[in-house]
Structure 1
Amino acid sequence: MTEASTPPPPPAPRGGTRFSPLLWASGANRDILRQSPTDKTRFQGLGSVVIFTAALAGASMAAALHIALKAPWPVIVLLTAGWFLGILSLDRWLVASMTRTTSKWGVGFLALPRLALALLFGFVLSMPIVLQIFAPEISQEVNVLHAEAESRYQAQTADDQVGKRIAALEKRKQQLEAQITSGGLPATPDADPTLKQLQDKRDQLQKELEQRREKLTCEQLGKCGTGRAGLGPEARKRIQDYNDTKRDFDTADTQLNNYLAQLKTKGVQDAQNELNGQGGAEGVTAELTRLKKQQSALQAQHAADTRKSDGMALRLEALNRLSQKNGTIGTAHLFVTLMFIAIELLPVLVKMMQILGPPTVYDDLVAAHERENRETGAHLARRDADVARVRAADDVKYAGLVYDARRAMLESLAQRTAMAEGEVGEAALEEWKRREMARIPADLDRYVRTEPGYGAPPASASPGGFAPGTPGGFGTPGGFGSGSPGGLGFDPPVRPANPGGIAFDPPVPPGNGGFPAGRPAPSGGGGFGGGPSNVRVMNGRPGDPYGGGAPGGGASGDPAPFGGAMPFCADPHRGAPEAGGG
């Protein structure tokens, strides 16, 4: 154990393991706190602050649920309990995550985001409680807001289509009622163009008649005109003009009176019909009554909905208006809000004061415990890294060993395969030799023919073999199976194998022409495989009876009996003349 490591804690006193809500809320390490009993009271105080703040948040949630949702009390209690536990856990994390650092400025930087978060929660959580404190004043202001909303809605409905129609019907109703009251005459002459025209004509003639009367009187008195009093020619002329105007006036007045009589007879009936309706048509009075009922119903519904609106937003608006209109309420609102914000900030502030104070025994024990944990963690990390490196090296070594073992196994298999192929090829060659030797006594002509000039007729054969007409050696072209011309063949031929090689049944794995790695013969080509072979009949030298030539075996370049270009010679010591086919 290092010098800075924490000694093992002493046995806990009796009852020390009991759960303490205050210590849990403070975020203290109970195992370390047992070694520093003097710090227990300090953390109990911090835990009580955290629990009190969470309880205040729960009360705020209950008020908000009651104001905004009008929720039943069981639901309020359940949601309030959940909110209380959530805020309790959050405040506990805020105080537990603040640890002592070497710099006081560092403590301040660590506390800033926590203070900002606590400030936000304090401002939000204080609103429902503030609304409950000023509930009576807010309710009165809410009624004022409701009345204002109803007035605005009534003004709005008066300006809409229904409101404008109601205003027009009320005006028309007044006109019709005035017309009925006046005996059928319209309320104003302007309402009837004919009446206005007749009345204007009569008024004009009446004014002209008065003017002519004044002129006639003035002429008779000698005050104007000729200046001579009495009934002279001028006076008589003016009397005639007056009489003519009087006659026109009487005619116009009679026409007006006759038209007024007609209006009185017809106007009252028409006004009553329009006012009350006729023939099933809706009259002015009925339409006006219907539209007013419709408008009143809308206004009553809006008023009822407005009075039901008593949520938190409306109460906040009422509180804001009260604060602006009443300075006392505004000041009280401000200080109450600040008080609740301070209560929400209290856990973080208390924790900051503890950190900024001198370190206690608990702080020293926590620091030692954290150092030991860091050292232990670093040691475990190094150990895990070493184990990982050893495992990686073992994996690499194992992979190398597996690769080497597989490579050795493959080389052994390749050697054994090559040896087996060689043995099989030798056995096949011996068997072929035995069979051919057995056939010679019975069919010598198949193998021996004479050249012209040696007493034997020329054989008719295609180039390249003893069998008439088939190129490529002993029988079927292609060696011990069908393949390239120039090898050994069997009669009947065996099934095809690799080109130019020996066929086996079952076939051996493909190799270099059916034999181990085919190395070319010292002289001569062809052989048993598809490529150059290390098996040949004889050393192929030019002029040898069995020498190979192109195509089909023996030494390259010269015709040979087995190659098919040089005919077989009875005298092997004689030169081999060129021939056109065997």
Structure 2
Amino acid sequence: MSNPFKFLWDKFYTMFLWSSGADLEVLDQVPMEKNKFYGIGGTIVFTALMATFAGGYAFYTAFDDVYPSIFFGFFWGALIFNLDRYIVSSFGVGDGKKTISGQEMIEAAPRLMMAIILGLVISTPLELKLFESEINAEIKRLNDLTTQESEFNYTAQADSLAITFIKENQSIEEGIDLRRQELEVLRLKRNDAYDKYMCELNGTCGTGRPGEGPVFREAKENYINLNEEFKNMEASYGQLNEQDLQGIREKEGRINNLRDEARQKSASLRTEFESRNGLLARLEALGSLTDKDSSLWAAKWLVTILFVFIEIAPILFKMMTERGPYDDIIDYKKHQVKVRHMLLTSNLNEEVNTDVKINAEKSSQKLEAELLANRELLKTIALAQSEIAAAAIAKWKEGQIQKARDNPDGIITS
């Protein structure tokens, strides 16, 4: 093994050991335990790599941008790596037996649930990539089906209105034809009256006498009346027919506009659905495929179960691992830390108790000093009061003696 290769191998080996969440200094003391943690760390690292590919692919599918997808892929892989490392490292060796007990399952349940959720999240984008060709075909089928349904709805709406307009136009055209027939009947009557009128004038029919006689005047008047009626009817019906024809042209224009609008909506919808190829569309297509094809459903769930198993494998492995020297050293170090903590707590309690006793003694001494000072003060007050009373009595005595000297009779009388 060449030196550069050995250097890289040592770096990878150390990285895998660190990824397992193990204490590298402790592992150096028990090298026989390294392979166990190397396997755990390798599983965590390769799970993070799969998460990197899955996150990058999912982001690229959603946003169709390469560089942000690469950044997000590495970010997602680092996030999954950190979560996996925490989940595995925070779980101890269990009961130290090769079998998995019910108590171990209860203790590991929250971590197993987190690992299962991570496995599902990681597996979904990779499933989309594995079944990419089938998903693309299903997306096209679903888009075509939705587009055809929408086009049918648009066309049906336009055709329904068109049928209504066509029926209205047919009714209008029937009215126009009826007026034309009436006008044609009147025109024929007018022409017939004209022929009789001219024939009577020329003497080729009727009375057989040319010139303007009573019969001629009657035929002429009949012609004039019919001709006037024909002109009036022609003008009136011509105006009505023009209005009806204008209405027909407007309705035909609306029919053409509706059909053009339906074609535009259909084309716009088809363009929209052709570009519908994002993450949600792929998830919907995958769901549709698994609903229709049991083989694809089984393959999809086998892939999901595989990734979930890879995610929970380190935890199960630690639950089935017997206690080793590494665990004994870790427990010893934890016990040392616990004892140090208890010792520090005990010393702190002793310091606090000593301070309390000192403060209590100081308070007692201070109280005694205050009591002593109060006793001395009371004595001084009592002495002063006695002196004041003696001085007041002496003063009163002097006053009474002086009164007795000044007025002995008054003292005796009183």
- Cα deviation for residue 135 of structure 1 reads 1.0
Post-superposition Cα deviations, 1:277-323, rounded to whole Å, max 9, x if no partner, equal xxxxxx22333344444444444444433333322222122111111
Q: Give the alignment of 1:72-221 within 5 angstroms.
A: 72-102=65-95, 105=101, 106-154=103-151, 163=157, 167-173=160-166, 175-176=168-169, 180=173, 184-185=176-177
Deviation at 1:518, TM superposition (A): 8.1
Question: Any residues of structure 2 matched to 1:548-559 within 5 Å, and which?
Answer: none
Aligned-pair CA distance for 1:366: 2.4
Deviation by residue 1:257-294 (Cα, 9 ceiling, x = unmatched): x9xx9898666433312123xxxxxx223333444444
The residue aligned with 1:575 is 411
For residues 129-528 of structure 1, what are the structure 2 equivalents within 5 Å? Answer: 129-154=126-151, 163=157, 167-173=160-166, 175-176=168-169, 180=173, 184-185=176-177, 268-276=241-249, 283-354=250-321, 357=322, 359-405=323-369, 517=385, 521=389
User: Residues 291 and 519 (structure 1 numbering): CA distance in 2 closer, same or farther, change over 3 Å?
Assistant: farther
Contact 2:291 2:297 in 1 (8 A): yes
Cα 1:569/1:53, change in 2 over 3 Å: same
Deviation at 1:78, TM superposition (A): 1.9
| Among 389, 392, 404, the residue aligned to 1:535 | 392
Task: Find the aligned partners of 1:414 and 1:77 in 2 and give their Cα distance.
Answer: 91
1:153 deviation in Å? 3.8
**Relative to 1, partners in 2 of residues 1:73 and 1:576: Cα closer, same or farther, differing over 3 Å?**
farther
Q: Following the alignment from structure 2 to structure 1, what is the Cα–Cα distance between the partners of residues 386 and 154?
A: 112
Contact persistence 1:170–1:288 (CA under 8 A):
no
For 1:64 and 1:519, locate their aligned partners in 2 and report how far apart those are by CA, in whole Å: 106
- Once residues 77 and 49 of structure 2 are traced to their aligned partners in structure 1, the CA distance between those partners, rounded to angstroms, is 6
1:82-111, Cα deviation, whole Å (9 max, x unpaired): 222221121112221222344753333222
> SS of 2:326's equivalent?
helix
- Matched to 1:184, the amino acid is I
**CA distance 1:520–1:410, shift in 2 (3 Å):** closer
Cα distance in 2, alignment partners of residues 411 and 150 from structure 1: 108
Distance 1:100 1:321 in 2: 43
The Cα offsets for residues 209-230 of structure 1, whole Å up to 9 and x where unpaired, read as: xxxxxxxxxxxxxxxxxxxxxx
Name the SS for the 1:309 alignment partner.
coil
Give the number of the structure with larger relative contact order, counting CA–CA contacts within 8 Å between residues 6 or more apart: 2
Alpha-carbon distance change, 128 to 284 in structure 1, aligned in 2, over 3 angstroms: same
Contact 1:91 1:347 survives alignment (8 Å): no
Is the 2:57–2:73 Cα contact (8 Å) retained in structure 1? no
Verify the 8 A CA contact 1:58 1:84 in the aligned structure 2: yes
Q: Structure 1 unaligned runs (5+)?
A: 1-16, 187-257, 277-282, 423-515, 523-533, 547-560, 562-567
Q: What is residue 55 of structure 1 aligned with on the other side?
A: 49
Q: Distance in 2 between matches of 1:20 and 1:117?
A: 26
Relative distance call for 1:365 and 1:289 in structure 2 (3 A) is same
SS at match of 1:575: helix
Q: From the superposition, tell whether residues 269 and 101 of structure 1 become closer, same or farther in structure 2 (CA, over 3 Å).
A: closer
Preserved CA contact (<8 Å) 1:184 1:265: no
How much does 1:48 deviate?
0.8
Counterpart AA for 1:327: S
Identify, as 1 or 2, the structure richer in helix. Answer: 2
Matching residue's letter, 1:185: D
The 2-side partners of 1:299 and 1:411 are apart by 111
SS in 2 for 1:27: coil
Displacement of 1:539 in angstroms is: 4.3
Q: Give CA-to-partner distance per residue, 1:485-516, whole Å, 9 cap, x none.
A: xxxxxxxxxxxxxxxxxxxxxxxxxxxxxxx5
Query: Quick one: distance in 1 between partners of 2:405 and 2:252?
Result: 149
Cα contact 1:545–1:572 (8 A) shared by 2: no
Deviation at 1:340, TM superposition (A): 1.5
- Describe the SS at the equivalent of 1:362: helix
Report the Cα distance in structure 1 between the residues aligned to 2:269 and 2:397, rounded to whole angstroms.
Answer: 125
Task: Look at both structures and tell me which one has the larger radius of gyration over its CA atoms.
Answer: 1
Q: Which runs of 5+ in 2 are unaligned?
A: 1-9, 179-229
Task: Return closer, same or farther for 1:101/1:337 CA change in 2, 3 Å cut-off.
Answer: closer
